[in-house]
Amino acid sequence: MIHSSNSMYKDQHKTVFFETFGCQMNKLDAELSLGLLLEEGYQIVDKADEADVILFNTCSVRQHAEDKVYSHLGALKTLKKKHPEVIVGVLGCMAQKDGKAIFKRMPHVDLVCGTRMFARLPELILNIRNRGSHVLAVDEDQIIHVKRAVSHRPNFYQAFVTVIRGCDNFCSYCIVPHVRGREISRTISDIKEEVEALVANGCKEVTLLGQNINSYGKGLPGGVTLGDLLSELNDIDGLGRIRFVTSHPADMSRDLIRTISRLGKVCEYLHMPAQSGSDQILKRMRRGYTAGYYRDLISYAREVIPHMMVASDFIVGFPGETDEDFQETVRLMEEIRFQNCFIFKYSPRTGTKAAELEDDVADEVKRARNMRLLELQKGISLAENKKLIGRVVQVLVEGASKSDSNKLSGRTRQNHIVVFNGSRESTGKLIDVLIHEVTDLTLYGTPT
Ligand code: 5AD
Ligand code: SF4
């Protein structure tokens, strides 16, 4: 087990530039890594050319994300030539996946630190300084244990909390199990302690994270489940809301849906990617369910939890996806009426099962299908949001709105963004807002 250091590794070069790509888990890993560096006395700078240490926390889920990082790294060559003492590091999924190949392609990189090694970041940086050589740290079997510095949070009222790392599902297109390793759940007591510390520090809402969160508890003694964890956290005084992502339809139990309906703090919002509406594509994706099963599961969830909002991910242009397969996805989207959807063009990932299949859907077809789903979803989101006009919704006030600093913004339990006029004092509180105008992305209203 790796423990975070406690100011053991003093380093006089103390400014860090940190950029994160990818999912919420990566954002949280970035927050934890930065927390460790801040504890060591580092200061964050927002320009790479002002930093002693430049770190990228990377994503491998699609080629595009990797290309972006390699282009950022390439752009640092000149800076590194002028200032060889600056340390350049690649962390996270790409580091795990490409390992020492990164040094070959980008010889000016000093540190490659995998997905389970970031707790040792301060020590690794110091090793580079002392030895003046590259450091590769990609051990897969480590269990991460970072004593979280709860005061180093980008968001005062909300926090992400990892509850399970890794994924055992091996969907055929997905690199995650290859770079994030096997599923490892944290114990309920460990998680509860962290959430209590966050709440004591002012946090009102937690989002529990796991690549496959419905598997939470597998491997822990006593047969605990996500429902047990949610029940325990629901009892924490001062905590207002609990969310959890990402759900896998095949691992989502009806029992969990019933448990959620009983727990007042758990929000009526499910991010449960369908990925496709075609049974033959789902089979080749190795998702372990059919579109019919998915429909039934959503019907059940909506029956038990009437205001349940559902969000999904879809991949278009998976190998062999015909127009008919794609139409099945369109039909599923029209029928379920998701609150929002993330839509991705299929990107082959070396090492996955799907990469053995021919990437036979032309890029312009992928692009057209992507656009079609985005347009469809936009219309659905607008129509669904219009139904909220004249209704009162509960909002956790987050602070000034990004688009208009005279206004406040926050989120509903179902994850809609709400912008409204109101007093700054309501920041961090749960208030009621009457909705009078909407777009596909935002609700506008007045506190009641
Ligand atoms: N190509 C395109 N999209 C992908 N995703 C995962 N792997 C790939 C891939 N190879 C999408 C899935 C997943 C989301 C995080 O990214 O929709 O739910
Ligand atoms: Fe990837 Fe499937 Fe695991 Fe999600 S459940 S991380 S899509 S392998």
In order along the chain (448 residues), what is the average pLDDT of each group of 10 residues?
A: 44 84 92 91 93 96 95 95 95 95 96 91 92 88 71 86 95 95 94 96 96 95 96 97 98 96 97 98 98 98 95 98 98 97 97 98 98 98 98 95 91 97 91 97 96
| pLDDT number for residue 347 | 97
CB 62 less than 6 A from any atom of ligand 1: yes
CB 137 less than 6 A from any atom of ligand 2: no
Residue from 171, 285, 349 whose mutation best tests the ligand 2 pocket (most atoms within 8 A of CB) = 171
What's the gap in Å between 316 CA and the centre of ligand 1?
Answer: 10
- For ligand 1, atom 7, which residue shows the shortest CA distance? 174
What's the gap in Å between 118 CA and the centre of ligand 2?
Answer: 22
| pLDDT number for residue 121 | 93
CB 213 less than 6 A from any atom of ligand 2: no
The C-alpha atoms of residue 185 and residue 225 are separated, in whole angstroms, by 10
What's the gap in Å between 199 CA and the centre of ligand 2?
Answer: 30
CB 212 less than 6 A from any atom of ligand 2: yes
| pLDDT number for residue 1 | 38
The C-alpha atoms of residue 53 and residue 85 are separated, in whole angstroms, by 9
What's the gap in Å between 64 CA and the centre of ligand 1?
Answer: 12
What's the gap in Å between 281 CA and the centre of ligand 1?
Answer: 14
CB 275 less than 6 A from any atom of ligand 1: yes
**Max CA distance (Å), the chain:** 65
| pLDDT number for residue 142 | 65
Q: What is the pTM of this model?
A: 0.93
Nearest to 124 by CA among 155, 165, 87, 170: 87
What's the gap in Å between 315 CA and the centre of ligand 1?
Answer: 6
| pLDDT number for residue 404 | 87
Domains, in order of start, for the chain: 15-137 (3.40.50.12160), 158-386 (3.80.30.20), 392-447 (2.40.50.140)
| pLDDT number for residue 147 | 72
The C-alpha atoms of residue 351 and residue 204 are separated, in whole angstroms, by 41
Residue from 24, 62, 211 whose mutation best tests the ligand 2 pocket (most atoms within 8 A of CB) = 211
CB 352 less than 6 A from any atom of ligand 2: no
